[in-house]
Amino acid sequence: MTSTHKTPSRTLFATRIGVLAATVGSAVGLGNIWRFPYEAGAHGGGAFMLCNLVFTLLIGIPILCAEFILGRSSRSNVMGAFRKLAPRQNWRPVGYLCVFSALLIPGFYSVVAGWTMEYFAQSAVGALDLGAVEHYHEYFDTFSSSVWTPLIWIAIFIGLNFVILICGTRGIERASNILMPVLFVILIIFAVNSMCMDGASEGLYFLFHPDWSAIDSSTVLSALGQSFFSLSLGLGCMTTYASYFSDSTRIGRSAVTTACLDLIVAIFAGVIIFPAVFTYGGSVEAGPKLVFEILPGIFHHLPFGAVWSALFFFLLILASLTSTISMHEIVITFLTEEKGMSRRNATILECSAAFVLAVIASLSFGPLAEMKIFSLSFFSLLDFITSNVMLPIGGLCIAIFAGYVIDRNIIRTQMTNNGRLHPTLLPLTIFSLRYLCPLAILLIFLSSLSII
Ligand code: PHE
């Protein structure tokens, strides 16, 4: 934690930048740069984008506020927050759901982070410059379906997480405070570059023009899942971080800033990828491999492509690290604070679990490709179940908890910092938590199950 300011019980974020760095660090990651473009590509581009935007603003921001309120008012991990704020009710199952989601997500996330590391290493030695797009398809397929190389990268990535989690997160936070703005600048440069491509207008049209006929229950569910995943919502991640907020942190403003930055990064990723798909060839519906097939093609056409490529993948590894650290933190704080385990043992247990899941998920691109569960590979199953089912259910419960269970005064005090701030977002947040979020999430689930 970025921390210099001590209170008797907990070390708090000292500055506004510290708060933002942690929440944005968790939110911005592969979800924006890898997942958003592939989901948007698979679900009609503009239609997905519009739904994602609406969900982020009307559901994401209020639930982000709710998680911040839960965390700061209870000053504890997600399980403890439910217990402290509603001592007479049993919210443990929801706490377990959150911790379980946090356990599963690194299972597929680490696989993609491993791919990123391979692409970084290959770019750094100048071996990723393969020319035409077909070569990148081939390269990705051969690499991802092989057994050992992806596993070695997964081991290195989870090993890095382990070292950071044991040695403290100071170093990675300092590094990301400096380097994330660099990632931002690079994204702008690439976006401008993509807008000058021959396929720019087609790509931008695909991304920004909502084709209403593409809005069906699967698009809506995926867009909902994407907003939860991208904002790290529905699993208590932001609750845990908010337990370190100081009393002067402005909850509403932090939520809006985090959500806007997160959205902007995702939109940039789309603006970079889709013009390139339409220029160099490739399918918008390529799925999880989309970004890994298209990005190297973009770098190939840039002067000093290998340098850009290495720099970009390096920054992406860093962005992934700040996200995975926040996922592991949920399980580790649960094991230490609720189960009395030592931090070292909790970290060993959590990283080992992530590794086992990631090995199976990685092999599901190769030797285990035939193993389908609900006609999905293990990798896609983890991705789908967590983002589109578990996180929205977690979010629904958090909205109900904040909207109906905890004392309304707590919400007011937290949102206005004890009456010192104007309650601009308060009525909207309460309305959304009580009515909009529960209703929208329930309706989306029912329609996905073809019940309505
Ligand atoms: N929000 C992260 C991303 O976009 C992923 C994440 C999900 C992080 C859940 C923490 C918890 O990459």
245: nearest Cα among 64, 366, 98, 79: 64
Q: Judging by DSSP bridges, how do beta strands 3-6 and 11-13 pair with one another?
A: antiparallel
42: nearest Cα among 377, 275, 274: 274
Decide: 154 and 118 in contact? Cβ < 8 Å.
Answer: no
Please name the residue whose Cα sits nearest to atom 10 of ligand 1: 232
- Cα–ligand 1 centroid distance for 338 (angstroms): 23
State whether the beta carbon of 391 lies less than 6 angstroms from ligand 1: no
For residue 8, the model assigns a pLDDT of: 36
Q: Which of 77, 229, 333 should be mutated for ligand 1, with most atoms under 8 A from CB? A: 229
How far apart are alpha carbons 447 and 185 in whole angstroms?
40
State whether the beta carbon of 254 lies less than 6 angstroms from ligand 1: no
Phi-psi region of 126 (alpha: psi -120 to 50; beta: other; left: phi over 0): left
Ligand 1 atom with the shortest distance to the CA of 101: 9
- Cα–ligand 1 centroid distance for 102 (angstroms): 10
Fill in the amino acid letter for 175.
Answer: A
State whether the beta carbon of 32 lies less than 6 angstroms from ligand 1: yes
Decide: 361 and 373 in contact? Cβ < 8 Å.
Answer: no
For residue 452, the model assigns a pLDDT of: 61
For residue 234, the model assigns a pLDDT of: 97
- Cα–ligand 1 centroid distance for 311 (angstroms): 22
State whether the beta carbon of 327 lies less than 6 angstroms from ligand 1: yes
- Cα–ligand 1 centroid distance for 150 (angstroms): 21
Fill in the amino acid letter for 426.
Answer: L
State whether the beta carbon of 239 lies less than 6 angstroms from ligand 1: no
Ligand 1 atom with the shortest distance to the CA of 229: 7
- Cα–ligand 1 centroid distance for 263 (angstroms): 13
Q: Which of 232, 235, 241, 322 should be mutated for ligand 1, with most atoms under 8 A from CB? A: 232
What SS3 state is found at 4? strand
For residue 11, the model assigns a pLDDT of: 67
For residue 179, the model assigns a pLDDT of: 84
For residue 17, the model assigns a pLDDT of: 74
Ligand 1 atom with the shortest distance to the CA of 31: 4
Angle at 266 between CA 354 and CA 110, to 5 degrees: 15
For residue 14, the model assigns a pLDDT of: 67
Ligand 1 atom with the shortest distance to the CA of 30: 12
- Cα–ligand 1 centroid distance for 165 (angstroms): 17
- Cα–ligand 1 centroid distance for 367 (angstroms): 28
pLDDT digit string (tens) for the chain, length 452 residues: 444 443 335 667 767 777 788 899 999 999 999 999 999 999 999 999 999 999 999 999 999 999 999 999 999 889 999 999 999 999 999 999 999 999 999 999 999 999 999 999 999 998 888 887 788 999 999 999 999 999 999 999 999 999 999 987 677 777 778 888 899 999 999 999 999 999 999 999 999 999 889 899 999 999 999 999 999 999 999 999 899 899 999 999 999 999 999 999 999 999 999 999 999 988 999 999 999 999 999 999 999 999 999 999 999 999 999 999 999 999 998 999 899 999 999 999 999 999 999 999 999 999 999 999 999 999 999 999 999 999 999 999 999 999 999 999 999 999 999 999 998 899 999 999 999 999 999 999 998 887 66
State whether the beta carbon of 386 lies less than 6 angstroms from ligand 1: no
Q: Which of 35, 265, 326 should be mutated for ligand 1, with most atoms under 8 A from CB? A: 326
Contacts of 264 (CB under 8 A, 6+ apart): none
